[in-house]
Amino acid sequence: MSKLTDAFKNQKAFIPFVAANDPDFEGTVNNVVALAKGGADIVELGIPFSDPIADGPVIQAADLRALKADPDLPMDTIFDMVKEIHQQTDVPLAFLTYLNIVFQYGYDAFTARCEELGIYGLVIPDMPLEERDELEPIAAKHHVDLIPLVTPISGDRIEKIAAAATGFIYVVSSLGVTGERSEFANGLADLVNRIRKVTDVPTAIGFGIHTPEQATEMAQIADGAIVGSACVNIVAEYGRQAPAKLTDYTKQMKAAVNAHPVR
């Protein structure tokens, strides 16, 4: 069974995100290890892209910081970060990036490296169901899950996307780009129920979640919660002191996803 699916077993999963090379190589390693220490079930590591069209201002800024520090930022440097991370923790990792980064490295070479280094999944916002065939068989050969996104307006695409999914399904909480929000789309529970009718692959809700209350609420609906911008904000604000803060925040959020809601 997929290592990512395993992370949802018997509990709700908390999945934080940080961007690679924000602020630098060592900082990235320390931040991911800190998230694991706080109890993260999966860590999403963002590979910076010059033009992240699905991301809001916070993650865009993180990508720009990372690329400003190293404009070329070779993929092999990021693979080295992963190697370093996995010497300190065995937390399952997934990459979030845009398809061009994977395409330039070569689909086979990229997913082979992922398999070798323990990257179990790829979240690629600009690769919808219709375009996944060029990568899916290659990724499957290397046991790398392609994590699909489902949105509140996916409509009759929901079942098709769910049926093809492995690892977990990324449920987008609301329209627009990533970033903290105070409100989510209506009908998320219906959306998750429609997915569950088609597949046992777990679901995690992301886009906009930042408070423990929101995490609790979302984990009542789905099997886990994904938090990006809030973690990236901690990295931006605390720099070298971010790891301790990330551990604390993860502990809090991890407890929140497994808490019963206070009514």
Give whichever of 10 and 133 is closer to other proteins, judged by the CB atom. 133
CB of 36 to other proteins, least distance (A): 26
8 A C-beta contact, residue 146 and residue 115 = no
Give whichever of 103 and 238 is closer to other proteins, judged by the CB atom. 103
CB of 87 to other proteins, least distance (A): 24
Look at phi and psi of residue 155 and say left if phi exceeds 0, alpha if psi is from -120 to 50, else beta. left
CB of 152 to other proteins, least distance (A): 9
Q: Provide the terminal-to-terminal Cα distance of the chain, rounded to the nearest Å.
A: 36
Give whichever of 40 and 127 is closer to other proteins, judged by the CB atom. 127
Give whichever of 121 and 125 is closer to other proteins, judged by the CB atom. 125
Q: 153: closest CA among 188, 200, 196, 204?
A: 188
CB of 117 to other proteins, least distance (A): 17
Angstrom CA distances, 197 to 23, 133, 180, 218, stand at 42, 24, 30, 19
- CA dist 67 and 152 (Å) reads 32
Enclosing H/E stretch for 238:
helix 229-238
Give whichever of 80 and 126 is closer to other proteins, judged by the CB atom. 126
Catalytic residue among 22, 41, 55, 223: 55
Is 87 exposed, middle or buried, given 0-12, 13-18 or 19+ CB atoms closer than 10 A?
Answer: exposed
Respond yes or no: is residue 26 known to be catalytic.
no
Respond yes or no: is residue 55 known to be catalytic.
yes
CB of 108 to other proteins, least distance (A): 16
Contact positions vs other proteins (CB under 8 A): 48-51, 53-54, 57, 60, 64, 67, 71-75, 98-101, 103-105, 125-131, 148-151, 153-155, 157, 161, 172, 175-177
Angstrom CA distances, 46 to 41, 66, 218, 231, stand at 16, 10, 22, 12
Catalytic residue among 44, 63, 145, 223: 44
Q: Which positions are catalytic? A: 44, 55
